[in-house]
């Protein structure tokens, strides 16, 4: 009889465990279904306005697609072959890459420095947070006209200040070697406020006991920054650099308003070239090939950033 009870209890326990597992999985299924139901509106709009547009753009890039023409001639990969031999495309890629690299590096460093400053227990730090973020609320038109006037070689306030100091004038917008760093400087001033807030959130997410324990062990400020702050900010740095690269590789407003892409083609960006082909020359097929080429470059750079910055440090 005891053996019968024992043999009867084991299956019962298994049945109870299976029933508990089933109840748990049913609960998880209900949560998953609820989550997907909330995602459905976004997925519908994403499919209509993003996925459909991307597929349509890829399709257009295979045609000699003139906007006002009644018929469109199939070209296959001809637009891409022309693009690879197009010197203006390569010039615009070079300009855009240099601009994006300078701007991302400058924005990341300045935003992190500002976040460290306004995260410290200093007087008036809330005021400085507002001041640092304030330029980001301006439109690109306002920023472009303001800095076009300030950087004017002969009448700009910046060169006027340099003249008062006895320094020579700098042709900020008329020298091919200076124009891209100038546009990058404008963009850094305009856009570092939002990355600063991201870094500030990352800094406030670092547990304070880590710093206290390190200080007890004799760590100085430099060691605290390089041994604790920077390693724990790796996900934040990855997010900032990826989003900044994606944004600045699509630069249009600053060079178009401030320099018009000049002098010559010195500040001619990929999006300006795309705009000219699509709007001025009505070459939608070639413009779509330009857009797809830029998208491929952006995806490649994003994957590289994940490969180098997305890895966890040893011992984490």
Write out the residue range of the structural domain in which residue 24 sits: 2-60
DSSP reduced 3-state for 75 = coil
pLDDT tens for each residue of 229-288: 999 999 999 999 999 999 999 999 999 999 999 899 999 999 999 999 999 999 999 999
- Decide if 81 is inside a domain: no
- Decide if 74 is inside a domain: no
Which of 267, 241, 274, 288 is CA-nearest to residue 94?
267
The tally of domains found in the chain comes to: 2
Question: pTM for the full model?
Answer: 0.85
Do residues 110 and 245 both lie within one domain? yes
Instruction: Tell me how many degrees the CA angle 87-88-89 measures, rounded to the nearest 5.
Output: 90
Strands of the chain, DSSP E: 63-64, 73-74
Q: What is the mean pLDDT of residues 150-174?
A: 93
Query: What span, in angstroms and rounded, lies between the C-alpha atoms of 274 and 294?
Result: 10
Do residues 187 and 47 both lie within one domain? no
CATH of the domain at 258: 1.10.3720.10
pLDDT number for residue 21: 59
Do residues 35 and 100 both lie within one domain? no
- Residue-averaged pLDDT of the chain: 88
CB-count burial class (<10 Å; 0-12, 13-18, 19+) for 298: middle
Return left, alpha or beta for 166; rule: phi > 0 is left, psi -120 to 50 is alpha, else beta: left
Do residues 91 and 34 both lie within one domain? no
Do residues 112 and 42 both lie within one domain? no
CB 249 within 8 A of CB 100: yes
Do residues 280 and 180 both lie within one domain? yes
- What tokens appear for 258 in the block? 């401030």
pLDDT tens for each residue of 74-118: 999 999 999 999 999 999 999 999 999 999 999 999 999 999 999
Do residues 158 and 277 both lie within one domain? yes
Do residues 143 and 255 both lie within one domain? yes
pLDDT number for residue 3: 44
Please state, as a whole number, how many other Cβ atoms lie within 10 Å of the Cβ of residue 156: 19
Do residues 44 and 179 both lie within one domain? no
């Amino acid at each position: 009889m005891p053996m019968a009870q024992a043999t009867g209890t084991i299956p019962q326990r298994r049945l109870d465990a299976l029933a508990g597992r089933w109840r748990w999985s049913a609960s998880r299924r209900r949560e998953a279904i609820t989550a997907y139901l909330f995602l459905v509106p976004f997925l519908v709009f994403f499919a209509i306005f993003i996925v459909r547009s991307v597929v349509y753009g890829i399709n257009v890039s295979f045609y000699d697609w003139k906007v006002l023409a009644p018929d469109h001639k199939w070209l296959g990969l001809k637009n891409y072959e022309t693009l690879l031999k197009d010197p203006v495309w390569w010039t615009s890629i070079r300009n855009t890459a240099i601009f994006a690299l300078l701007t991302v590096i400058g924005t990341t460093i300045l935003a992190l420095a500002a976040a460290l400053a306004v995260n410290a227990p200093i007087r008036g730090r809330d005021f400085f947070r507002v001041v640092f973020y304030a330029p980001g609320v301006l439109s690109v038109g306002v920023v472009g006209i303001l800095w076009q006037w300030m950087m004017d070689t002969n009448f700009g306030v910046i060169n006027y200040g340099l003249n008062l100091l006895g320094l020579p004038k700098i042709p900020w917008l008329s020298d091919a070697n200076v124009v891209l760093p100038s546009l990058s400087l404008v963009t850094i001033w305009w856009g570092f406020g939002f990355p600063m807030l991201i870094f500030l959130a990352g800094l406030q997410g670092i547990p304070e006991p880590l710093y206290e324990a390190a200080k007890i062990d004799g760590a100085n400020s430099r060691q605290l920054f390089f041994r604790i702050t920077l390693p724990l900010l790796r996900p934040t740095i990855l997010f900032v650099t990826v989003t900044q690269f994606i944004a600045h590789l699509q630069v249009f407003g600053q060079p178009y308003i401030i320099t018009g892409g000049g002098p010559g083609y010195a500040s001619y960006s990929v999006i300006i070239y795309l705009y000219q082909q699509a709007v001025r020359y009505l070459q939608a097929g070639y413009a779509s090939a330009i857009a797809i080429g830029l998208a491929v470059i952006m995806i490649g750079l994003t994957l590289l950033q994940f490969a180098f910055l997305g890895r966890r440090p040893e011992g984490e």
